[in-house]
Chains A and B, each alone.
Chain A
Amino acid sequence: NAGVTQTPKFRVLKTGQSMTLLCAQDMNHEYMYWYRQDPGMGLRLIHYSVGEGTTAKGEVPDGYNVSRLKKQNFLLGLESAAPSQTSVYFCASSYLPGGNTEAFFGQGTRLTVV
């Protein structure tokens, strides 16, 4: 049981390049989330999904797009990377939408935009 797996773990991009971060979970969870974490700060929610085929904006959605074509996968895309998007990105999933259920997190993707 792998839990939440993020691919890749590290990446360096040039300004203007595009890339996609993949999050995969094998727990049959409906709810998935993408967060970013900047140095010395807590996690901030970028986008989330409440089920296959659905997505919604979080606190800091600008510059990112997401897709949830399959229940087990949640993709985060950067169409034109900017240095301000240098960050550590975490994916998470949970079985229920809130309240009495925990979220499970991946180990993060460290992205540097130069």
Chain B
Amino acid sequence: DAKTTQPPSMDCAEGRAANLPCNHSTISGNEYVYWYRQIHSQGPQYIIHGLKNNETNEMASLIITEDRKSSTLILPHATLRDTAVYYCIVRATLGNQFYFGTGTSLTVIP
């Protein structure tokens, strides 16, 4: 599974969009991009995933560049409850495991 690179921390004003970047320059064609978050040492929570097209669900949007070497998770209207560590993971079609890095600690500021 490819490695990912994320900034260690970010701040975002409450009500504004939070844009969390992830670099996965060694991603291969059969690897999906996943985003999870972990709030206060709880179990990781699934947010969204995609292969090459942009994706949107009730929680967030995922923008994947055309070359698939990077992606951005967008929380459209950040709230204080979105303060968490966000993990970007790439996972192969037949990959059995999720490999977590150290993620981005997002702080939403009132």
Contacts and interface: CB of A to CB of B under 8 A. Distances in A.
B46 A102 contact: yes
B95 interface: yes
Contact of B44 (A31, A58, A90): A90
Contacts of B44: 43, 90, 92, 105
A56 B87 contact: no
Contacts of B95: 97-99
A111 interface: no
Interface in A14-40: 31, 33, 35, 37, 40
Interface residues of A, number: 30
Given A99-B95, A100-B49, A42 B43 contact: no
Given A33-B97, A42-B87, A42-B103, A98 B92 contact: yes
A97 B32 contact: no
Contacts of B100: 35, 42-44
**A-B pairs, 7 with minimum CB distance:** A105-B43, A99-B93, A98-B95, A42-B100, A43-B100, A102-B46, A42-B102
7 contacts: A4-B43, A37-B41, A41-B102, A42-B87, A90-B43, A100-B49, A102-B49
